[in-house]
């Protein structure tokens, strides 16, 4: 759970509450002055009435009566409109700084549209971005970018949101503006480079990177981006040098090692490529790219690849964890040229926008037929890039290829493609074809269960996860999925079984994100079983975990549990967290009502 303000002193006193209408630029939320500085200006502004109004607001904030402070400011709008606007704006900034987005939005909504200044508009953009409403944030920032072209804060945020939305033209223009305002800003340079590469303007991207590396020779991110650019331009020697430079700077990052492995393989230096691949695997054995380059660079004739690496990369290519390796893949795995293309395509698809990686694959395949692994790579990247027609054509053509016979990968991809097309029946048929080929595959049974869950059929997911768990009894993800399915489809007996499964998964000490999922499942099952004190404790633990509560419904449930237990502080925090997410859900109005009730009750004590 994020840290909340403990009354006025710990939160809003440290937050920004000074607003100046019609500002020439915007200020970072974290740098805004606090209430102390704001209060010290009261005498300069003059008027006993104004001082009294400010004191009334402060008193309510000190009591934790946020709703009362909002109502008081609204009540003076008719008599003191300018003061009301100032108070709403400064309180909005303070709440936003404290990441209390619901309260900030309430004050911003109370300001007439004609009285909104640029700082308030910027706050709206920040709130929208934090609530993952990227289109709304982008629209506001684009307008601010036109109004305030010399503001580096606006330029930075505009570039970032545009990049997240895939608008490379806007991202490039904003990053270029920021780079002009801050010539040594490495983030601006690398964002500009990525945008230019997505636009196909590689020469300009290279110039920016070379200029940045002259200014900052130890910029590992710039060296890495240069390596990717050289790889995309089919300059393996230059790519190898850039990746080696990045590796010497960022020695604990697996990506430069993987890039160097691909470049060395492209140059026909399999031994050197294998050494670099080993470095990538050592840095991050959970990285599919690192696992893939280990497989691609293994020496012939005996391909001794750790099964752990094959299992990791099987997330992309399910057939790679079969024993022995499918004959259809052997020619590609033995070929430096094919291996380097497959490695480069995967590296680019992870670290560049999928559209650009797909373009690279299309260009690489114009003069020859693709092998099975390369075809499967093409289909997966095309789906990620949203080019569903290209993915469908490639799958249809591959289905006629004898090399596809007996492979489950094409059917798994066909299921994913059907899901993206909104065809659940087609997705189910494709997954069933894969299971017909390999009915005992734990991975396929897990994928089948995941598909049933996505289709809203948890009862049918249960036997799939049971079968998967029989083959992999210590897989915490399968334990969580089975427990979650039992929660959705079962009754008290199944809930008790699911709780035991979740506890077992937690005992395996999984990765922190998977641990958060297991904690969530455990808390939900305790709640369903009516074990209220344990459920409250479980949700409290989940709230304090990285990657913990992510839905408004779960926050509201924590609020209800805390409220029933008499913990009003936790209840207020939980209800506000539910509202902060900015999503519509059935209990939203009830969360707002209960939050205001608790706020008002606290002010009367």
Q: What is the 3-state secondary structure (H, E, C) of 322-348?
A: CCCCCHHHHHHHHCHHHHHHHHHHHHH
What number of other Cβ atoms are within 10 A of residue 62's Cβ?
Answer: 16
Q: What is the pLDDT of residue 61?
A: 83
Q: What is the pLDDT of residue 8?
A: 36
Q: What is the pLDDT of residue 49?
A: 72
Average pLDDT over the chain, rounded to whole? 89
Q: What is the pLDDT of residue 17?
A: 33
Q: Using the 8-state DSSP alphabet, how is residue 298 labeled?
A: P
Q: What is the pLDDT of residue 47?
A: 60
Q: Tell me the C-alpha distance between 244 and 103, whole Å.
A: 49
- Using pLDDT thresholds of 50, 70 and 90, give the confidence band for residue 600: confident
Q: What is the pLDDT of residue 304?
A: 62
Q: What is the pLDDT of residue 9?
A: 30
The whole-number average pLDDT for the span 134-159 is 97
- Reported as half-sphere exposure (CB side, CA atoms, 13 A), residue 494 has a value of 15
The whole-number average pLDDT for the span 168-180 is 96
Residues 87 and 57 sit within 8 Å (Cβ to Cβ)? yes
Where does 98-201 have alpha helices with state H?
Answer: 101-109, 118-130, 134-147, 152-165, 168-181, 186-198
pTM for the predicted model, two decimal places: 0.83
Q: Is the confidence at residue 424, as pLDDT, over 90?
A: yes
Q: What is the pLDDT of residue 301?
A: 40
- Using pLDDT thresholds of 50, 70 and 90, give the confidence band for residue 11: very low
CA angle (6, 10, 16) in 5-degree steps: 120
Q: What is the pLDDT of residue 14?
A: 28
- Using pLDDT thresholds of 50, 70 and 90, give the confidence band for residue 6: very low
Q: What is the pLDDT of residue 109?
A: 96
pLDDT tens digits for range 558-594: 999 999 999 999 999 999 999 999 888 999 999 999 9
Q: Which two tokens stand for residue 482?
A: 């089975």
DSSP string computed for 464-482: HHHHHHHH-TT-HHHHHHH
What number of other Cβ atoms are within 10 A of residue 307's Cβ?
Answer: 10
Q: Which two tokens stand for residue 559?
A: 């609020």
Q: What is the pLDDT of residue 556?
A: 96
Q: Tell me the C-alpha distance between 318 and 539, whole Å.
A: 36
Residues 600 and 68 sit within 8 Å (Cβ to Cβ)? yes
Contacts of 272 by beta carbon, 8 Å cutoff, 6+ apart = 264
Contacts of 349 by beta carbon, 8 Å cutoff, 6+ apart = 357, 358, 377, 380, 381, 384
Q: Tell me the C-alpha distance between 407 and 410, whole Å.
A: 7
* Residues in the chain, total: 605
Q: Tell me the C-alpha distance between 231 and 224, whole Å.
A: 11
Residues 10 and 22 sit within 8 Å (Cβ to Cβ)? no
- Looking at the chain, the whole-number percentage of residues with pLDDT higher than 70 is 91
pLDDT tens digits for range 368-402: 788 999 999 999 999 999 999 999 999 999 999 99
Q: What is the pLDDT of residue 21?
A: 36
More confident residue, 31 or 216: 216
Q: Tell me the C-alpha distance between 342 and 296, whole Å.
A: 9
Q: What is the pLDDT of residue 580?
A: 95
Give CA torsion, residues 453, 454, 460, 463, to 10 deg: -50
C-alpha to C-alpha distances, 460 to 434, 437, 456, 483, nearest whole angstrom: 17, 20, 9, 13
Q: Tell me the C-alpha distance between 109 and 132, whole Å.
A: 19
Residues 216 and 232 sit within 8 Å (Cβ to Cβ)? no
Q: Which two tokens stand for residue 138?
A: 């982008």
Of residues 308, 377, 304, 314, the one with CA closest to residue 344: 377
pLDDT tens digits for range 252-276: 999 999 999 999 999 999 999 999 9
Q: Tell me the C-alpha distance between 532 and 107, whole Å.
A: 36
More confident residue, 300 or 313: 313
- Using pLDDT thresholds of 50, 70 and 90, give the confidence band for residue 20: very low
Contacts of 510 by beta carbon, 8 Å cutoff, 6+ apart = 476, 477, 518
- Using pLDDT thresholds of 50, 70 and 90, give the confidence band for residue 13: very low
């Amino acid at each position: 759970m994020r840290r909340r303000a403990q009354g006025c002193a710990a939160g809003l006193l440290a937050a920004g509450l000074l607003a100046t209408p019609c500002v020439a630029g915007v200020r970072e939320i974290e740098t805004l002055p606090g209430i102390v500085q704001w209060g010290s200006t009261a005498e300069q502004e003059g008027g006993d009435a104004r001082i009294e109004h400010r004191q009334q607001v402060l008193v309510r904030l000190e009591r934790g009566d946020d709703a009362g402070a909002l109502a008081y400011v609204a009540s003076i709008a008719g008599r003191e409109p300018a003061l009301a606007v100032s108070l709403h704006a400064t309180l909005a900034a303070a709440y936003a700084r404290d990441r209390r987005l619901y309260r900030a939005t309430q004050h911003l909504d109370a300001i007439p549209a004609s009285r909104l200044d640029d700082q308030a508009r910027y706050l709206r953009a920040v709130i929208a971005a934090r609530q993952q409403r990227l289109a709304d944030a982008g629209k506001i920032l684009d307008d601010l970018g036109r109004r305030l072209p010399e503001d580096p804060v606006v330029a930075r945020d505009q570039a970032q949101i545009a990049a997240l939305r895939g608008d490379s033209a806007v991202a490039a223009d904003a990053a270029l503006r920021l780079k002009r305002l801050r010539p040594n800003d490495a983030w601006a340079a690398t964002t500009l480079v990525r945008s230019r590469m997505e636009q196909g303007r590689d020469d300009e991207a290279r110039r920016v990177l070379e200029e940045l590396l002259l200014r900052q020779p130890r910029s590992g991110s710039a060296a890495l981006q240069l390596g990717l650019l050289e790889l995309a331009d089919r300059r393996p020697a230059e790519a190898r040098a850039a990746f080696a430079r990045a590796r010497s700077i960022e020695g604990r990052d697996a990506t430069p090692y993987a890039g160097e492995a691909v470049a060395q393989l492209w140059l026909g230096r399999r031994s050197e490529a294998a050494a670099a691949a080993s470095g990538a695997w050592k840095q991050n054995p959970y990285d599919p790219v690192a696992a893939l380059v280990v497989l691609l660079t293994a020496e012939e004739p005996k391909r001794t690849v750790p099964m752990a690496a094959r299992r990791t990369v099987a997330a992309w290519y399910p057939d790679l964890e079969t024993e022995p390796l499918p004959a259809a893949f052997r020619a590609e795995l033995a070929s430096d040229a094919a291996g380097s293309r497959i490695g480069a395509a995967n590296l680019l698809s992870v670290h560049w926008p999928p559209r650009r990686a797909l373009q690279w694959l299309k260009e690489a395949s114009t003069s020859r037929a693709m092998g099975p692994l390369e075809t499967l790579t093409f289909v997966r990247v095309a789906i990620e890039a949203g080019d569903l027609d290209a993915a469908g054509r490639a799958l249809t053509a591959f289905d006629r290829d004898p090399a596809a016979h007996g492979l489950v990968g094409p059917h798994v991809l066909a299921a994913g493609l059907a899901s993206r097309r909104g065809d659940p029946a087609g997705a189910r048929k494709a997954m069933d074809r894969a299971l017909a080929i390999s009915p005992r595959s734990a991975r396929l049974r897990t994928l089948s269960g995941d598909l049933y869950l996505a289709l809203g059929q948890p009862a049918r997911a249960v036997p799939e996860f049971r079968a998967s768990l029989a083959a992999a009894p210590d897989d915490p993800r399968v334990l969580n999925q089975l427990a979650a399915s039992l929660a959705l489809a079962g009754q008290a007996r199944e809930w008790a079984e699911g709780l035991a499964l979740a506890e077992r998964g937690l005992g395996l000490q999984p990765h922190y994100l998977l641990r958060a999922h297991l904690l969530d499942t455990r808390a939900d099952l305790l709640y369903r079983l009516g074990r209220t004190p344990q459920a409250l404790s479980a949700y409290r633990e989940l709230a304090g975990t990285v990657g913990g509560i992510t839905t408004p419904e779960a926050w509201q449930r924590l609020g209800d549990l805390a409220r029933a237990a008499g913990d009003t502080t936790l209840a207020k925090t939980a209800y506000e967290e539910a509202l902060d997410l900015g999503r519509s859900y059935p209990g939203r109005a009830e969360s707002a009502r209960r939050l205001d009730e608790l706020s008002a009750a606290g002010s009367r004590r």
